[in-house]
């Protein structure tokens, strides 16, 4: 069921997204998901999907799509993940040079007063949970490959993000913080945004698991990530929807009209739960919880229709503050009502790719390459 959907998605849906808009971080998520499926399944078709996508990312002369000179955009640092996967798959120097350039971006990337990479030039001095996923695993992989000892920088950024965004009263992370306190959505005293968005939680939790997988071999401070992921998941699990076993779009507002179990944030959390357990960050009961969440998605959101399988209930996009992208609304104020008002999509990359990643963890535990549920 899942694998049939993923194959259909990479054959027909993902190419459409690639042709419609310039390369973006959502495509990196799909390439990552396909790479994980290739790793657990050993089926060459997954590598074919990755190679086909690479034609949209890098041109014949080695130019990387949608990169602009002197632009600081943490979402575009994530392109380095796809470039590395393609480099390792092909040995093509164009991809290797792209990895080096993505890493060079971080060398002089602007930071907040707390030492964090800020989100984008259009969102200066802001830390979003999303950004930890976009940059930190790529950064960690570069350190491991180059033999550089800058692990404290990564650990410090995770710790400062925790201090900036964790709400001790609810046990949940808020989406973003403007360290300068200037954004319209920022609390004037703390700089924090007001709402808890499930996908933002998912980005952060996935980053913790992915970075730990590398960092544990290089720094004793990796154990700090164990505490952070357990803290984050224990808080989040208190709000798990009893009926769907998923997590709501606005995690802590079950009674808010229009709130719904959201697919991408739930799948990201399932991935973090199962991977964290596999790596020994968490006990086996957390793997069971992740499997429960993924089963909830399969049962309620994956549907067989006349033209094939489709995945429903995915938040198309959400953020903080208006930007130059015409797709961005101008009322992105971070309130619970705002997150509810963002459109839902079927087969959006966020949801499909996160499910690919979560199912790969399910298959690693099961030790087989079939997945009927």
Q: Which H, E and C letters describe 81-121, residue by residue?
A: HHHHHHHHHHCCHHHHHHHHHHHHHHHCCCECCCCCECCEC
* Residue whose pair of structure tokens reads 């994956």 in the numeric block: 302
Is residue 311 helix, strand or coil?
A: strand
Structure tokens at 10: 């990479």
Gap between the Cα atoms of 370 and 373, Å rounded: 9
pLDDT at 327 (0 to 100): 66
Gap between the Cα atoms of 118 and 132, Å rounded: 10
User: Of 198, 241, 223, 219, which is closest to residue 339 (Cα–Cα)?
Assistant: 198
Enumerate residue ranges in the chain where pLDDT < 50.
368-373
In this structure, CATH architecture of domain 111-366: Alpha/alpha barrel (1.50)
List the beta bridge partners of residue 311: 302
Gap between the Cα atoms of 105 and 72, Å rounded: 8
Give the burial string for 134-151 (b: 16+ CB within 10 Å, else e). Answer: bbbbbbbbbbeeeeeeeb
Gap between the Cα atoms of 206 and 358, Å rounded: 10
pLDDT at 222 (0 to 100): 98
User: Of 342, 72, 330, which is closest to residue 185 (Cα–Cα)?
Assistant: 330
**CA quadruple 294, 295, 301, 302: dihedral positive or negative?**
positive
Give the burial string for 174-196 (b: 16+ CB within 10 Å, else e). Answer: bbbbbbeeebebbeeeebbbebb
Which letter does DSSP use for residue 303 in this model? Answer: E
The full set of domain ranges for the chain reads 111-366
Gap between the Cα atoms of 219 and 215, Å rounded: 6
Q: β-pairing, 344-345 with 314-315? A: antiparallel
């Amino acid at each position: 069921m899942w694998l049939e959907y993923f194959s259909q998605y990479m054959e027909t849906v993902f190419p459409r997204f690639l042709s419609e808009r310039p390369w973006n971080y959502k495509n990196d998520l799909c390439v990552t998901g396909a790479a994980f499926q290739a790793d657990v399944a050993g089926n060459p078709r997954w590598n074919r999907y990755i190679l086909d996508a690479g034609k949209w990312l890098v041109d014949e002369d080695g130019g990387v799509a949608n990169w602009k000179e002197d632009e600081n955009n943490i979402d575009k640092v994530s392109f380095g993940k796809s470039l590395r996967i393609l480099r390792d798959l092909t040995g093509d120097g164009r991809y290797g040079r792209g990895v080096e350039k993505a890493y060079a971006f971080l060398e002089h990337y602007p930071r907040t007063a707390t030492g964090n990479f800020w989100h984008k030039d259009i969102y200066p001095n802001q830390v979003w949970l999303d950004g930890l996923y976009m940059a930190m695993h790529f950064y960690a992989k570069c350190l491991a490959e180059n033999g550089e000892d800058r692990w404290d920088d990564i650990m410090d950024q995770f710790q400062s993000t925790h201090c900036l965004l964790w709400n001790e009263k609810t046990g949940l992370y808020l989406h973003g913080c403007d360290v300068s306190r200037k954004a319209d959505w920022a609390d004037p005293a703390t700089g924090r945004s007001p709402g808890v968005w499930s996908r933002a939680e998912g980005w952060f939790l996935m980053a913790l698991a992915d970075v730990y997988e590398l960092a544990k071999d290089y720094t004793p401070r990796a154990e700090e990530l164990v505490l952070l992921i357990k803290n984050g998941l224990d808080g989040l699990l208190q709000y798990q929807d009893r009926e769907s076993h998923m997590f709501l779009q606005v995690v802590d507002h079950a009674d808010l009209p229009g709130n719904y179990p959201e697919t991408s944030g739930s799948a990201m959390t399932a991935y973090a739960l199962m991977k964290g357990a596999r790596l020994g960050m968490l006990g086996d009961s957390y793997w069971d919880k992740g499997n429960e969440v993924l089963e909830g998605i399969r049962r309620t959101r994956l549907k067989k229709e006349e033209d094939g399988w489709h995945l429903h209930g995915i938040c198309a996009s959400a953020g903080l503050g208006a930007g130059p992208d015409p797709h961005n609304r101008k009322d992105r104020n971070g309130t619970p009502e705002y997150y509810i008002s963002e459109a839902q999509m079927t087969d959006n990359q966020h949801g499909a790719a996160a499910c690919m990643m979560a199912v790969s963890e399910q298959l690693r535990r099961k030790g087989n390459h079939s997945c009927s549920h």
